Chain A
Amino acid sequence: LAKTTQPISMDSYEGQEVNITCSHNNIATNDYITWYQQFPSQGPRFIIQGYKTKVTNEVASLFIPADRKSSTLSLPRVSLSDTAVYYCLVVVDSNYQLIWGAGTKLIIKP
Chain B
Amino acid sequence: ETGVTQTPRHLVMGMTNKKSLKCEQHLGHNAMYWYKQSAKKPLELMFVYSLEERVENNSVPSRFSPECPNSSHLFLHLHTLQPEDSALYLCASSQSGTDMNTEAFFGQGTRLTVV
Contacts and interface: CB of A to CB of B under 8 A. Distances in A.
B100 A96 contact: yes
A34 B56 CA distance: 20
B101 A32 contact: yes
B62 interface: no
Contact of A103 (B42, B44, B56, B103): B42
Interface size class of A (residues with CB under 8 A): 20 to 34
Interface size class of B (residues with CB under 8 A): 20 to 34
B2 A96 contact: no
Contacts of B55: 96
Main secondary structure of the interface of A (DSSP, over half): strand
Interface in A71-110: 87, 91-93, 96-103
B10 to A, nearest CB: 10
Contact of A92 (B40, B42, B100): B100
A3 to B, nearest CB: 10
A45 interface: yes
Contacts of B2: 43, 45
